[in-house]
Chain A
Amino acid sequence: EVQLVESGGSVVRPGGSLRLSCTGSGFTFDDFGMSWVRQAPGKGLEWVSSINWNGGITSYGDSVKGRFTISRDNAKKSLFLQMNRLGAEDTALYFCARGELYFDYWGQGIPVTVSS
């Protein structure tokens, strides 16, 4: 059974940083690209970032470009999202998802709240 489990969510002050992690199991992690998608409270889905199978190709949504960095450690079957210069607009539930283009398995999400 494919499972994706996110961790690292927290309450952080505006301008602060946070690193999210996602651990995959039940599939060959380094066979797949991975992504982060977020959902602000009561809002729709927003694509954040994607990374290919070996980390050599990354892409970002316009709203996070230059502030967020996606990376992965295939030996640890883990995906990461380093988030810097956080603002209130980054408050959301962050989902880890399998796939670089479309997303066929999702974690349950981890909340990130940016508030003073």
Chain B
Amino acid sequence: EIVLTQSPGTLSLSPGERVTLSCRASQSVSSDSVAWYQQKPGQAPRVLIYGASSRATGIPHRFSGRGSGTDFTLSISRLEPEDFAVYYCQQYGSSRSFGQGTKVEIK
């Protein structure tokens, strides 16, 4: 089983700042099969990125994903008020598994 480790656990930031979230896999993820999700309290998750770097339908351009092998990142170029949430990475190269999440909170 591929274990995904996200860091940091929590980020305290202000609107307008740039943020980069990290997701490290315990072994190489084939074909860059990584997705990123955003989840707000009381809501279902929403997919942001799939295939490590492809934005899902309707996702703003301020969200971008990159990475390969064992190291993947999600960046938000300028934080908007609605971006404060928990972010999860997920791999689907070998079975499926999620990271433990990174909470982005308002400073």
Interface centre among B35, B45, B46 (most CB of A within 10 A): B45
Count, A-B residue pairs, CB within 8 A: 52
Known interface pairs A45-B98, A62-B1; A103-B88 also in contact (CB < 8 Å): no
Number of interface residues of B (CB under 8 A): 22
B88 touches A102 (CB 8 A): no
Q: Range of interface residues on chain A?
A: 10 to 19
B100 touches A102 (CB 8 A): no
Residues of B within 8 A of A37 (CB): 45
- B47: interface (CB < 8 Å): yes
- A107: interface (CB < 8 Å): yes
A-B interface, 5 closest residue pairs, ranked by CB to CB distance from nearest:
A106-B44, A102-B35, A101-B92, A47-B96, A45-B98
| A contact set with B: CB distance below 8 Å | 35, 37, 44-47, 50, 59, 61-62, 95, 101-104, 106-109
- B11: interface (CB < 8 Å): no
Complex-state Cα separation, A69 to B99, whole angstroms: 24
B56 touches A108 (CB 8 A): no
* Cβ-defined partner of A47 (8 Å) among B39, B44, B56, B98: B98
Shortest CB distance A13–B (Å):
28
CB contacts under 8 Å to A, within B1-23, are 1
Complex-state Cα separation, A46 to B95, whole angstroms: 12
Q: List 15 A-B contacts (CB under 8 A).
A: A35-B96, A37-B45, A44-B99, A45-B101, A47-B96, A47-B97, A61-B96, A95-B44, A102-B50, A103-B37, A103-B45, A103-B90, A104-B56, A106-B44, A106-B45
